[in-house]
Amino acid sequence: FFLCYFRNEEERRLAIRSLSGHKWKGKVLSAKTAQPLPDPLALQRAEGMARKRMIQDAARANVDAKRIKLDGDEVDELAISVRLNHVVTPLWDQPYSKQMETKKSNMVEILGKLTRKLKAIMVLKNNWVEEESAKRNGICCELLDCVESPVLDGYRNKCEFTIAEGPDRAKTVGFRLGSYKEGYSGVVEPSECIHISDKAKVISKAFQTYVRQSPLPVYDLCFHTGYWQTLTVRSSMYGETMAVLQFSPQKMTKDEIEAEKNRICEYFKSGEGKDVKLTSLYLQINHTRAVGGNAEAPFVHIMGEEHIYEELCGLKFRISPDSFFQVNTKATEKLFNLLKDWCGDHLDETVVLDICCGTGALGLCLAQSVKRVIGVEIIENAVEDAKANAQLNGVTNAQFVCGKAEDIIVDVFKNMPRKTKIIGIMDPPRAGLHQSVLHAIRKSRRMDKLIYVSCNPSAAFVNFLDLCRPTSKRIKTAPFRLVKAVPVDLFPHTKHCELLLLFERDMTSVDAAKFYKWYY
């Protein structure tokens, strides 16, 4: 597939006539006119009517709501917040027991698809996939009931808000109600969102007041103009809060940026925003068009402490502006305790290899039960946080290494005493691990147990498949078997949940049999 651009319509027609039917490398080419995306300006012009129509439709569903004015017409404000709940927490109006059934059903579907794919690529007949799926209604492992979250409402310790125009065209800090494809992408305040804490709502409201008082316009995703982009609010069990305001400086000078930074600081230190009592405040200067989690944009500390702290499984963890930390602390404790049980008993001589360790939370929570923890992470700031967290909790048997996981895994096994028992654990990004990391894991024959925490099993599906894929010319080392899985609900009222999967080395494979006969 090729996409070509031309200076005018005549050249495009000539190219289509010339290319259509042309033979190239034994194939006949076809050419046609590409369909352009809608003009952004046309979308902007259409947005006004689409916004009004959407809100009026929602208003008819609720006659007792507060009335607001939109382009001179009265509309229903409460109905908008109800619509927003359906967008950000689509299961919010269902009983929690039904939510659990829905999430387990989704996991059954994913594991069923994995089972069918594995059956198709298995070399030997009467293999473990066929045997297990015959006993377990078409899935290749034991699937336990979904573990419930101990907190259902206001559970998020990290919230990422968009700053854009709201239904009344005022600058608003909240969540997008729609998309450009739907004709409306305005933002609605999170005041009625049940998964957001009261503290986060108060902070977002304070920033909204500041932005509305500012003469600077909000950022426009279509034309890449404007200044105010996103607000991230983090909170902890200790009552500490951190806010990160993402700001596009456009053509502002350094002095102008500095002046704006000072105004923000003054507002939250002694102005109207002082009552929210922020522990830490950062400004993220974003010179790129990317909005949201932009790793290139520097964080500028402008007020309070540089870090906040969270408690998890009896340990204390340092949180930086860009630290990864699970959003539901109480449910994460359940997840970590379950993972610890899956590691097994008699762990005194066991080394845990924490792949994609982030700030070290998972490995440090296991450190007191095992001989040693080795954490691997490619993000340098995360490794620094992990080392600080180990020192903060007096953990001396944890080592954190920055670098590519596939390289470090090989080095770790080279330097490990021969008969050391090694368990791999990993909580990778949403999309899963790169194939090179999976190959390194497969080659690490002494790792006979692997526990995978997936926040998006559909996106990480290929990882599961590659871990269990039979030995071949491309992958010559023993595969794993998927033994059991359990959904853990870290995101009540949404369709998402974590999936904890236990893989064990397939001892029936020829490679494993040869290795373990030599090894032991």
Which residues are designated catalytic?
455, 498
Q: Is 292 left (phi over 0), alpha (psi -120 to 50) or beta?
A: left
For residue 101, count other CB atoms closer than 10 A to its CB. Answer: 14
Cβ distance 363 to 398 under 8 Å?
A: yes
Question: Distance between CA 159 and CA 201 in Å, rounded?
Answer: 10
- Asked if 432 and 425 touch (Cβ cutoff 8 Å), the reply is no
What size, in residues, is the chain?
Answer: 520
Q: Six-digit token pair at 56?
A: 């009026």
DSSP class of residue 502 equals E
The token duo for 299 is: 């964080």
| Counts for the chain of helices (H) and strands (E), in that order | 14, 21
Question: For residue 141, is it left (φ>0), alpha (ψ between -120 and 50) or beta?
Answer: beta
State the greatest distance between any 2 C-alpha atoms of the chain, in Å, as a whole number: 82
CA distances from 226 to 186, 262, 450, 508 (A): 15, 19, 47, 61
DSSP state of 151: -
